[in-house]
Amino acid sequence: MDTVRVADRDRYLAALYAPEDKRPALLALYAFNAEIAAIRDRVSEPMPGEIRLQWWRDVIASGSREAGAGHPLASALMAAIESYRLPVAAFDNYLEARIFDLYDDPMPSRTDLEGYCGETASALIQLASLVLDADGAPKHAELAGHAGCAQAIAGLLRLLPMHRARGQCYVPRDILAAAGLTPEEFVAGIDDQRSTVAVQAMIALAREHLRAFERGAKALPQSLRPAFLPIALTPAYLDRVERGKDGMSVLRKHFAMVATASRGWR
């Protein structure tokens, strides 16, 4: 709980709306996500990061709680996987996608970006949904796909200054080419006007997925709402990116989540 509260405030708040008996598994998933997302910051070069990702692969593939003995997060995650019969393949795909974070290679295309978002943020929503309602979750997998893409793209845009400082480029080559930029130029911030066009294209892509999610979100059962609650903040995040601002008060986040948790999406 403390890890998620510090590293991922949005998902921490969302987990509070889940039934109390489901929260430990949700928090284990979200803490795992935060742990993997932070690997790039903890290694000086990609190979140690890949070794760390492989360690997690081996632990999860073992199917045994003992495999992560001595590592509280691994033990909690394995308990969640076992208790809720979470698909190991989803974690393997997630970890495979996260290899991209360790390198400075540019995102090849919009399709690749959507695939990355699908294997990470969308998969996390689907796994959380399986914890909350194993019968209902598969019926809303497509919504999880769109929700995760919208959420992840908004998150990448908010982290753009940090990615540029690292030399990373998550904006796809085809979007950059349409704006008349190379990945190297975009990372360097050489042409603000063309960079703005590329960012606007990313915002439009996120909103495209957000609209696709919202069209079907009314059908989400109340049991699954906590898994999707962070998406309630995505429209405001995209608006702030568009205006060149960032951040949102915890109080405003609470208001947005309370409203969505109580009435759903309309």
**Residue 215 amino acid letter:** R
pLDDT of res. 70 = 79
Q: What is the chain's mean pLDDT, rounded?
A: 93
When pLDDT is averaged across residues 71-97 and rounded to a whole number, the result is 96
For residues 220 and 212, give the distance between their C-alpha atoms in angstroms, rounded to a whole number.
Answer: 13
Per-residue pLDDT of 111-137, as tens digits, reads: 999 999 999 999 999 999 999 999 999
Domain total for the chain?
A: 1
If pLDDT is split at 50, 70 and 90, which confidence band does 7 have? Answer: very high
pLDDT over 70 for what percent of the chain? 99
For residues 157 and 242, give the distance between their C-alpha atoms in angstroms, rounded to a whole number.
Answer: 10
DSSP H stretches of helix in the chain: 2-7, 9-15, 23-37, 39-42, 46-62, 72-84, 88-98, 110-117, 123-132, 141-158, 160-166, 173-178, 183-188, 192-217, 225-228, 234-242, 250-263
Q: How far apart are the first and last CA of the chain?
A: 31
The answer on pLDDT for 236 being more than 80 is yes
The answer on pLDDT for 88 being more than 90 is yes
Backbone angles phi, psi at 46, to 5 degrees: -60, -35
If pLDDT is split at 50, 70 and 90, which confidence band does 189 have? Answer: confident
The answer on pLDDT for 82 being more than 90 is yes
**Residue 172 amino acid letter:** P
The answer on pLDDT for 42 being more than 80 is yes
pLDDT of res. 120 = 98
If pLDDT is split at 50, 70 and 90, which confidence band does 244 have? Answer: confident
DSSP 105: P
For residue 71, what are the domain limits? 2-263
Ranked by mean pLDDT, the top range of 67-81, 176-190, 197-211 is: 197-211
pLDDT of res. 29 = 98
When pLDDT is averaged across residues 205-217 and rounded to a whole number, the result is 97
**Residue 235 amino acid letter:** P
| Cβ contact 229:256 at 8 Å | no
pLDDT of res. 255 = 86
If pLDDT is split at 50, 70 and 90, which confidence band does 248 have? Answer: confident
Q: Which CATH number covers residue 187? A: 1.10.600.10
Lowest mean pLDDT among 79-93, 172-186, 209-223, 246-260: 246-260
pLDDT of res. 188 = 92
